[in-house]
Amino acid sequence: MVKLSPSILSADFARLGEQIKRIDEAGAEFIHIDVMDGKFVPNISFAFPIMKALRPITKKIFDVHLMIEEPSRFIDEFIDSGADMITVHYEADRHIDRTINYIKSKGKLAGVAINPGTSTVVLKDILSSLDMVLIMSVNPGFGGQKFIDYSLNKIREIKNMASDIGKEILIQVDGGIDTTNINKVVEAGANVIVAGSAVFNGDKIEENMEALKRGI
């Protein structure tokens, strides 16, 4: 089953609690929370106090995407703030295996993200330890970018790598996904779709999510 993980980076921050309730009721399986530090990516976003305030609003999985340098420093704080799944960037963590194992030791799901310019080969040795791989289909840092087409090949590569080792894994894709390309992303092997602008655009959350589900 393909799951939708709306990215609240594209939500109306003045109405964030209300809009989270709406995506919950409209059938979002995950809620994607982008955390940016202004160093690993050229933008700054949510941190612990906001997550803690949002956690009582929904029981859906908090899918926390850490676009920050040295993410291992903050794993405990994000868990305490309500994270259910934590994804760190391969490019941002010198000791990625240690971080993955630490997340899992805390009873949480662990994911690793790779940027558009990073080969899937780097995940070969750690794939068996992961719950999810996140393929960035735009350069991370800002919403509303155009989908990078060669991301489809990377999705297929991860699917084949997982199949080769008999591993069932979540393959998440983040960036530029809308009704015009979601079917291609799913056909390539993705089973968790992050969508920001395509969900929150025009304050038509329910209609937009239904359109995305039809595309799946």
Tell me the pLDDT tens digit for each residue of 164-200: 999 999 999 999 999 999 999 999 999 999 999 999 9
The pLDDT of residue 141 = 77
d(CA 177, CA 196): 8
Tell me: is residue 202 an annotated ligand-binding position: no
Q: Report pLDDT digits (tens) over 131-161.
A: 999 999 999 877 778 999 999 999 999 999 9
Residue carrying the six token digits 């976003």: 45
Other CB atoms within 10 Å distance of the CB of residue 163: 12
What residue ranges define each of the domains in the chain, with the CATH number in brackets? 3-215 (3.20.20.70)
pLDDT score, position 92: 97
Q: Is 175 annotated as a binding residue?
A: yes
Which residues are known to be catalytic? 34, 174
Q: Judge whether 144 is annotated as a binding position.
A: yes
Consult the annotation and say whether 65 binds a ligand: yes
Collect all residues with Cβ–Cβ distance below 8 Å to 127 and sequence separation of at least 6: 133, 158, 161, 162, 165, 167, 169
pLDDT (tens digit, 9 = 90+) per residue, 4-60? 999 999 999 999 999 999 999 999 999 999 999 988 988 888 778 899 999 999 999
